[in-house]
Each structure stands twice: as C-alpha cells, then as structure tokens.
Amino acid sequence: MFDHFGDLQVHGVGDEGLYHEDTRYLAYQELAIDGVRPLFLGSSIKDNNSLLIIEMMNPDLTRGERVQVAKGTVHILRVKLLWRGACYEHIRITNHGRETFEADLSMRFATDFADLFEVRGMSRLRHGERLQTLTNEREVQLRYRGLDSETRTTRLHFQPAPDALDEREAQFRVHLAPDKEMHLYVTVSCEREGLPVTADDAVTTYDAALRMAQSERMRVAHARCGIETSNPLVNLWLERSASDLAMLTTTLAGGPYPYAGVPWYSTTFGRDGILTAREMLWTDPSIARGVLAFLASTQASESDPMRDAEPGKILHEARRCEMAATGEIPFGRYYGSVDSTPLFVALAGAYHQRTGDLDFIRSIWPNICAALDWIDRDGDVDGDGFVEYARRSREGLVQQGWKDSQDSVFHADGTLATAPIALCEVQGYVYEAKLLAADLASRLGDDALAKRLRSAAQELKRQFQQRFWCDELGSYAIALDGSKQPCRVAASNAGHALWSGIASPQHAQRIVELLMSERFFSGWGIRTIARGEPRYNPMSYHNGSIWPHDNAIIAAGMARYGFTEAAMRVLAGMFDSSLYFEHYRLPELFCGFSRRPGEGPTLYPVACAPQAWAAAAVFGVLQACLGLEFDPARPRVTLYGPRLPEFIQWMRISRLTVREHSLDVLLQRYRNNVGVEVTERTGALELVVELQ
C-alpha cells in the first residue's frame, strides 16, 4: 500500500506498508534527490494490476543560493512489481538537460514488523525483539524475532551497489551526461525463518520477475473463458474484474485460491473463497478445485472451543502472523462460520457438475462425508433439523453468517437475536449441499447414503417453509433465534433461499417482487435490509448497504425460478454502479442510498477494493442471465432461455471448455430473444438452446 509517489509514509496509525502474511515488512520508504522529494507528475496502475508506475521530476536544486539544476530537467520513473513474496522496483533517471547532471539520490527505509491486527487498532502489551541489522555492500537485512520464536527478515537488495549503505539509507551518486539515463533496481524481500538467506539465491532480478509474472498472467488468462461484448464499458468492467481476481489469487499446494480482499483480508477465507469459486465456476473451474483442495486439507479434525472448531467443520479464515501464532487472536486457523461447511459440500457437487472430475471428488470424499457429519451433529446440536451457531471462543465472531456484524440479526422490534441462531440462507445451503452430495454418493456407488441425503433435504425444505415463511412480510424470516422464534425482518437473506432452491415456487414470486421494490432495490442494487426495518441504515456494514456478491447470488436465484428480467435489472444496476467507481472496480460494498439523477452511488469508507467475491459478481450474474449449465458426460452446454440486457447487443464467449472440448459462441440480442451461433468448435462439445 504505497502513496502516489511510490513511497511509504506511516504516521501514527497509518496503514501504508509492504505486507506479507499479515505482517508489515516495510513501514517507511522515501526516495529523495539532494535530500528533497521529487515533484510528482503522475502515477497509475497498469490495467492488468501487474505494475505500479510513478513519474516524477526534479525540483529546483540549489547550490548555495544559486539554482544549479532547474526544475524539470531530470525525469524519474519508478516501476514496482509484486511477485512471490518480494517487491521489485526499477528506477530510471533520465537527463533531459543540456549539461551534465550531478546529484545524490537517496532511498531511506525502516520497518516495524507490525502485525496487521495492530495496524487495525489492536494494542499489544509485549513485542518480540529487534535483531542486529546485517549489511554488506549491496544489501541490508532488517530482522525481528517475534513472540512466536520465528525470525522475520526484510531484505533490501540494491543493484548496482550504492555508494553508501547503512541500516537506514542507501545513497547513489548520479552523474549523467545530456540525454543519458541511469537504471537502479531495488528488491525488498519478505522472509520468514526457513526461507533462503543467501542474496544470490534469494534475489531474482527485476527483469526475470517481470517475465515470470507476465507469463503466469497470460497462462491464467488463457485458461479462462474469454468474454467480449458490444459495449466497451462493460468490457472494461469485465477486464478489471478478471485482473483483480488474478491479482488476489495465490497458488497454494492444492491449486489457485482467491484471497478475500485488500487491504485487511488478503488471506484464505473459507466462505469468500467458496462463493468466489461458485461465481467463477463456469469460466474457470480450476479455482473451485484449488479452493476445495485447500479447505479439505485444513478441515477441523478435533474440537477446540478457542477456535470455534469441531470435527468436520470447514475453515473460516487462516492467518500466519505473529499474533495468530501466539494465540493473541484466534485466527491462526479459525472456524467460526456456520455456512462454510455446507457451502464446501455444495461447491464439490457443483464442481463435479461442471467438470465431471470424479477422481478429484473421490480424493476429497472423506472430507465431504466429515462435513456432512458436522452438519447433522455439531451444526444441529438440538436435533431440530436446522443448522445453528453460537460462538464458543471468547475472541471469536458473535454472528457467524456472511453478515457477521454484531447487530446483523434482530427481531422486528430491533432487539438482537439470542443464540443459537438458525439463519435463513444457511438452511438453503444445507438443502443444496445434501442434494448435490446425494448425486456424488450415487456416482461413487453409495446409493443408501444418496437416498438418506435426498430424504433429509426434502424434510428440511418442508420444515423450512413451515418455520421461516412470514406471510405478512412476503418473505422468509432472516433467522430463528435461540427460542426458535422467527426474526420477522425483511432481509436479502431470502434471496439466497432462491439461489439454493429451498424456496417454494409459490413463495418465489412474492420474494422477487419484494426484493425489486423500492424498499430493497435502490437503483444501484438490492440492499441487505429493507428500508423501514428497525435497524435499517444505508451507511451500515450489513443493515442497509449494497454488496455486489449478495446481488449476484440473488440474481442467480431469481433466474433459477424464471425471473430473468429481474436478474437483468440487478445486472443493469451493478453495471451502472461500476461506471462511478475508480477503475470500474466494484468494491466489497457501498451505501444503500436511493439512486438520485446525475449522481453516483455513495462509497462505504473502509470497503475492501478489490475484493474477490465482488470482482467475481459480474460473472455470476452473466451466467444467470444466460441460463448456462453444463453436462460433462455428454458433453453438452445448455443455455436455458438466454437473455441479454439492453446495453449489450452482442456477446462473444471464447474457450468455453468442458474436458478437452471447447466452443466459441456468439450471442446476438434481439427484441424478444437471443440468437446463438457457434463460431468455432474443438472436439465434440454440443450446444443446446432451450427457449423459455
């Protein structure tokens, strides 16, 4: 998190810094020329998020009282690249003057090894110890041994070697003839004990890192479907979303995993990773496989109240920072989400429907079975058929659904619900999980289990209609509280019941009408809580704001029940919103104020941007509007009643792949339908269009 100059200027509780594994490895960095900061010309991030580019020039440089070098004589270009635990910087200095340019260029630096949770405001009574700084002619190692007994090192490597170097500053004497340029390279490596310590082995050159990063980005981009439309502004939204997802995705041992968001959630989150993978499943199923592999490997195997862990439960979040390792926070591996476990099972089923990859499903089948056991055992302690939550960790989350603010679940009079709490959407996730797991069980030869799961799903659906439906609301209650009383609040959670399929068809129309009414739909999107509810606040985190991923899930649910026109209105609101955000990037959330002519949506001040499931939202809504489904056994792709909104006249989808087969498809919008043409085919993939 650099400033516009490419520097780090941490003052007080500032959050600038170079972070790795939730630790700030560099807190201060400032480039100066003859002791003063260069003048700012401009900075930008390359469209694919790969590079930060800063352009500056020299101020008037004086010798005594005389201006020795006039302002604007020298151009300074800084280019920063993040790659595999290091920040690579290329500094180019160009003399556009008519005389030889001589000056001192310095880079000052420092670090505090602050834990991310300290940066966010938590105080600590004790810290580890700073170790002796190690230096040689071209390198500085700033070292810290934490209370977790691990040594963390910030290694600054300079090429060429500075003229002077100590633990606070590198100095270069610049001597440039007219029209000549000088190149400097700085690599800041973030290392933890056990990583390489030899400079020649640990430091890759800037050019090599750039080549590797570009090659990896091209590989990832080619592996996904390509999407292009008639609308250049939609294309910018799509390109930004894809680039943000590429930036947030880290390759772990089991495959790619989308980290949740920047700046505070740049790590593995179970719920976020699963829902991002579901939104992206049709374009890139490798993300789902990577998410499933990681979550299977970190599944809880024993009960640990301090971490809200129980056997079979799926991870909420994982941190590798010092405070997590020492237990000052419970988030080293924390399991306090009630929905990650059923969502994990459902993602496995959806992944198989998309790919037919039964071998991989077989490899994680024990994890799926353990998750199903948790749903019926610890997820439903009282045996009433509903999955509930109540935190056990004193430091853990009070609310453990996706709306995890402390005040997000309440009654019609505004009083907060008491635990254990059974959320509306979670019952839907469990319903879908059991149906999809039943299909997997059948394919793996366990017909008895499949029968039990289908029967349990249908019984859950029956009970859900009886206990959650509130006729006076025209919607499902947001939750049942600890006394099994419904929280009769109109909330977007009911839209998730459409997405999972647990909603009854006779209730679906009323839910859609409510969600698209002015109480919910602001013109930009659907609010989390309806206007007029007791805790409604359009500036709140969860009680009246607008979340793109929430809207994408709801739109998919609407299309599932045949309300594709409503889904396209949601898509239109999201597209219009994207036009007002920097880089066409939808943030984690924004305020729920009603749309006003000539004005854009109101930002939520501390929203993550980018955030994975917000970036993926556009792909999820597009799939809903196209009615896109897969049958890898045939192999076949089916479009059920495909629709395009008015602002997209045509859409081209390339590399739509099932197994080794692929299609390029062109969709053309007409007044009452969409024309579909296969423009290229590899293999025997069949395309079917069913009109509705």
Q: The domain that contains 670 carries what CATH number?
A: 2.60.420
Q: Are residues 139 and 15 in the same domain?
A: yes
Q: Are residues 161 and 257 in the same domain?
A: no
Q: Tokens 């889904």 identify what position?
A: 567
> Strands, E, within 70-168: which ranges?
74-83, 86-95, 101-110, 129-130, 134-136, 139-145, 151-159, 164-165
* CATH assignment of the domain containing 118: 2.70.98.40
> Quick check: is 621 in a domain?
yes
What is the residue range of 36's domain?
8-214
- Domain boundary (214, 244, 260) is at 214
Q: Are residues 207 and 275 in the same domain?
A: no
Q: Measuring CA to CA, which residue among 400, 405, 413 is closest to residue 540?
A: 405
Q: Are residues 598 and 647 in the same domain?
A: no
Alpha carbon separation from 567 to 426, 519, 556, 579 (Å, rounded): 22, 17, 7, 19
Q: Are residues 642 and 572 in the same domain?
A: no
CA–CA distance, 63 with 121 (Å, rounded to integer): 45
pLDDT at position 48 is 77
Q: Are residues 209 and 321 in the same domain?
A: no
Q: Are residues 279 and 171 in the same domain?
A: no
pLDDT at position 200 is 40
Kindly state the DSSP code that residue 445 receives in the 8-state scheme.
Answer: T
Say if CB 341 and CB 374 are below 8 A apart: yes
* CATH assignment of the domain containing 426: 1.50.10.10
Q: Which residues contact 184 (CB under 8 A, 6 or more apart)?
A: 90, 91, 92, 93, 105, 158, 159, 160, 172
CA atoms within 13 A on the CB side of 602: 12
Q: Are residues 40 and 142 in the same domain?
A: yes
Q: Are residues 48 and 68 in the same domain?
A: yes
Q: Are residues 362 and 483 in the same domain?
A: yes
The parts of the chain modelled with pLDDT lower than 70 are: 11-13, 194-203
> Quick check: is 3 in a domain?
no
DSSP bridge pairs for 251: 256
> Quick check: is 615 in a domain?
yes
pLDDT at position 196 is 46
Q: Tokens 């594994």 identify what position?
A: 21
Q: Are residues 648 and 622 in the same domain?
A: no
Is the N-terminal amide bond of 587 cis, ω within 30° of 0?
no
> Quick check: is 631 in a domain?
no
- Domain boundary (190, 214, 238) is at 214
For 506, the token pair is 């006779």
CA–CA distance, 431 with 342 (Å, rounded to integer): 9
Mapping DSSP to helix (H, G, I), strand (E, B) and coil, where does residue 345 land? helix
Say if CB 608 and CB 260 are below 8 A apart: yes
pLDDT at position 203 is 54
CA–CA distance, 107 with 186 (Å, rounded to integer): 10
Q: Are residues 368 and 507 in the same domain?
A: yes
> Quick check: is 445 in a domain?
yes
How much is the pTM?
0.93
> Quick check: is 219 in a domain?
no
- Domain boundary (193, 214, 235) is at 214
> Quick check: is 306 in a domain?
yes
Burial status of residue 575 (CB atoms within 10 A of its CB: 0-12, 13-18, 19 or more): buried
> Quick check: is 532 in a domain?
yes
Say if strands 486-487 and 686-690 run parallel, antiparallel, or are unpaired: unpaired
How many domains does one find in the chain? Answer: 3
How many residues would you count in the chain? 692
Say if CB 1 and CB 20 are below 8 A apart: no
Q: Which residues contact 409 (CB under 8 A, 6 or more apart)?
A: 399, 401, 403, 416, 417, 421, 423, 478, 479, 481, 487
216: left (phi over 0), alpha (psi -120 to 50) or beta: alpha
